[in-house]
Structure 1
Amino acid sequence: MKHLRTVDDVMTHAVITVNRGAPFKDIVETMRQWRISALPVVSDEGRVVGVVSEADLLLKAQGVDESRAVCAGQLMTVPAVTVPRSASIAGAARLMARGHLKRLPVVEDDGRLVGVVSRGDLLKIYLRPDEDIAQELRELIMAQLIPAGSATVYVHVSDGIVHLNGAIPDPSLSDVLVRVARTVPGVVNVVARFESEVPA
């Protein structure tokens, strides 16, 4: 499994959309057919101009829609909350959490829609095999953090939980290693138990 780091790595490329003129009933039917709770509204050039969600449509059902909105362009929420395909998975997760969003349209720099990312897509990183996570972390530690021969660090991963042990010359290095391990996609938790001196 390749390293999953950005939205582009996990997003769904096939996206169901509507244009500004899509009628109310067509929007409802599209959501029902595809079992989705929100639809990006796109311009003729494929740029995201808004999002119409079940919440937008339910205003009609509640009888509180005073705007007499009947099509996507009138119903949609603007501006749309989108995410670039190069965004980190963690960044997209924070954006979803802040906005209480289930899905985000993924766009190019010019605003053209290229995909959609859901909460479920972001969770794909936790399906990485343990050995993939361990190998990436070993390479990261040896390449960037531990000068040759200065420490002995063992990495074991079980169910996404990283176990670090061995011997390090400076106890503060343990905190650095834990922080680095937490940045590796797919890591659920980190447990570190180091001796503070390198054996002779």
Structure 2
Amino acid sequence: AALVLVAMVWNRATGRRYPFRLPAETNAAEPAPRLGLSTEELGSLLSRFNQATNLGVADLGRLLAAAEAEAAGHRFDGTTCADIMTADPIIARPEIPVAEAARLFLTHRIKCLPVVEGDGRLTGLLFQADLLDVVAGVGRAVRRSPRRRTVGDAMRPATGAVPHDMPVGRLLNRLAADGSEVVPVEREGWLAGILTRSDVIRLLLRGAEERPSIR
């Protein structure tokens, strides 16, 4: 009893519950979407290695998720987002008219315009579909008359920006799960570039010509 009491005090002091008992309000399956493993499969792994009494399902899920993230960082020889991103992309300011933004889309044949403030900080993203919303008169842009609508009215929030030194491998699951086509890349809060699916595909195909073909 004294040993169990000491173990409980020690583990709680170091941030781990012992004996592990998952609270009823906690979702034990939380790691499953990241790992592709259900709660039952995680429990089966614990039983297979006789660790069910030492490690909880949630703890195992967190451990495997951390290992998966670490392994993803080693993919592509540590290539970072800054290594494959499009640096110095075509940008827009929130105050310019949407008609000028449309000309930028046509001239440069791009799919997305990062919107930045005067100091270079990323404030939003403008996609071609957002211009269609302006034409259709829906969304934020409908609050102003057509001639006064600006990029700031039509843009969407710039959520999901990643740091420039983030390993590309960690971004693959997000691109697959969220369906993101353009990911802003920031350096110390300022826009450093944008990363698209095409950039990742080129990285995946790098060196493919040297690999033997499968017949």
Q: What SS does the corresponding residue of 2:149 show, helix, strand or coil? A: coil
Measured in 1, the distance between the counterparts of 2:87 and 2:172 equals 18
What does 1:1-200 align with in structure 2 at a 5 Å threshold?
A: 3=77, 5-65=79-139, 66-68=142-144, 70-108=149-187, 110-129=188-207, 158-159=212-213
Between the aligned partners of 2:172 and 2:91, the Cα distance in structure 1 is: 22
RMSD: 2.5
Instruction: Provide the C-alpha distance between the structure 2 equivalents of 1:14 and 1:6, rounded to a whole number of angstroms.
Output: 17
- Report the CA distance between 1:123 and its aligned residue: 1.6
CA–CA distance in structure 1, aligned partners of residues 86 and 196 of structure 2: 8
Asked whether the 8 Å contact 1:4–1:10 carries over to 2, the reply is no
- Structure 2 Cα separation of the partners of residues 58 and 81 of structure 1: 23
Superposed CA deviations along residues 46-78 of structure 1, whole A, max 9, x for unmatched, are 110111111211112223343237111121111
Whether the aligned pair in 2 keeps the contact of 1:47 and 1:113 (CA below 8 Å) is yes
Tell me the TM-score normalised to structure 2 length. Answer: 0.55
What SS is found at the alignment partner of 1:18? coil
Structure 1 residue 124 displacement after superposition: 2.2
Whose strand fraction is larger, Structure 1's or Structure 2's? 1
TM-score for the superposition, normalised by structure 1? 0.59
Shift of 1:130: 6.2
SS of structure 2 residue aligned to 1:19 = coil
The Cα shift of 1:131 comes to 10
CA offset at residue 101 of structure 1?
A: 2.2
Output the amino acid matched with 2:212: S
Gaps of 5+ in 1: 133-156, 162-200
Please state how far the C-alpha of 1:81 moved relative to its aligned partner. 2.7
Residue 166 of structure 1 is matched in structure 2 by none
How many Å separate the matches in 2 of 1:130 and 1:28?
Answer: 37
Are the counterparts in 2 of residues 40 and 48 from structure 1 also a CA contact under 8 Å?
yes
SS of aligned partner of 2:185: strand
Alpha-carbon distance between aligned partners in 2 of 1:158 and 1:35, rounded to the nearest angstrom: 35
Aligned equivalents of 1:102, 1:130: Cα separation in 2: 23
Gap regions ≥5 residues in structure 2: 1-75
* Identical-pair percentage: 28
Number of equivalent positions: 134
Q: Is the 8 A contact 1:107 1:115 kept in 2?
A: yes
Question: Counterparts of 2:136 and 2:205 in 1: how far apart (Å)?
Answer: 41
